Amino acid sequence: MTELESARVYTDFHHKLPPHPGSEWTRFVCISDTHSRVFPVPPGDVLLHAGDLSSWGSLDELRPTVEWLKSLEHPVKIMIAGNHDLCLDEQWGLQTYGINPDDIRHARAYVRSDAGLHYLEYEAFQFTAPSGRTWKVYGSPAAPIHVQGAFQYGTSEEARAIYDRIPLDTEILVTHTPPFMTQDRTRKGKNAGCQILASALQQLPECRLHVFGHIHEANGAQTDTDASGGTGRVFVNAAVASHGNAIVVDLKN
């Protein structure tokens, strides 16, 4: 467990997660990169899924994940797409990309069809936790280009246009890509996160939790005690594809 004055982070609890700390706290359960598979998920106030819902991007591969998320009992459930989720990216419905446009339309409507599951695509959202605390969240599916994939950008200008959209009062940020030099090291030793996103985070003084995935082998969490007005910021690479364990973060309201 990692503990700050206003945050507690659990990365390896072997199904013995400490009890919810009480009404002054909000418990976030963080997962990503489930790739059409189902994993055990502990209870909590808010479930955050940071993308790669499907394995290879078809609507049929998306459905098992969405139905599984719908079945979970977390009071608030938020998800974004990732580079594998081709059927959610409108660009992949163009003739040169080759996914049936009807599948794109159906997939995009499907992920917004359940009132208890909130799909964010370059969007801000506010929710009230069971404690009564209202949190401001922003979700972005984007990632730097890597072979063929969805929601990817290839230039610094594209990246800036994407991350300039994040509201300055965002408290919970969910992106598919990691920021550069933060839980982003690949098996080959490369830091594969986004430098523009890392810079954008410096302009988000209220952000207390940043959840992402994408780089499976960099799963884990770290804290920045100088961020978020001195209360500390928690960074979580929540990719579960290689080990199947969610990461839990308790934030003091």
For residue 109, the surrounding DSSP H or E stretch is: helix 101-110
Within the chain, strands assigned E span: 2-3, 7-10, 25-31, 46-49, 76-79, 117-119, 123-128, 134-140, 143-144, 152-153, 172-175, 209-212, 220-224, 233-237, 247-252
Kindly state whether residue 152 falls inside one of the protein's structural domains: yes
pLDDT at 147: 77
Token couple for 120: 């964010």
pLDDT at 229: 63
Kindly state whether residue 188 falls inside one of the protein's structural domains: yes
Kindly state whether residue 99 falls inside one of the protein's structural domains: yes
- Our count of domains for the chain comes to 1
Measured distance CA(32)–CA(49) in Å, rounded? 5
Q: How many CA atoms, within 13 angstroms, populate the side-chain half-sphere of residue 200?
A: 25
Tell me the per-residue pLDDT of 96-132, one tens digit each, with 9 for 90 and over.
667 889 999 999 999 999 999 999 999 999 999 999 9
β partners of residue 221: 236
Kindly state whether residue 48 falls inside one of the protein's structural domains: yes
**pLDDT grade, residue 226 (50/70/90)?**
confident
The domain of 148 spans 2-9+23-252
Angle at 41 between CA 53 and CA 123, to 5 degrees: 45
CATH number where 38 lies = 3.60.21.10
Is the pLDDT at 217 greater than 80? The verdict is: yes
Q: What is the mean pLDDT of residues 128-143?
A: 96
Tell me the per-residue pLDDT of 168-216, one tens digit each, with 9 for 90 and over.
999 999 999 999 999 999 999 999 999 999 999 999 999 999 999 999 9
Angle at 175 between CA 128 and CA 12, to 5 degrees: 80
Measured distance CA(184)–CA(165) in Å, rounded? 23
Kindly state whether residue 17 falls inside one of the protein's structural domains: no
Is the pLDDT at 13 greater than 80? The verdict is: no
**pLDDT grade, residue 2 (50/70/90)?**
confident
Token couple for 153: 């950008």
Instruction: Classify residue 56 by its DSSP letter.
Output: S
Measured distance CA(246)–CA(148) in Å, rounded? 27
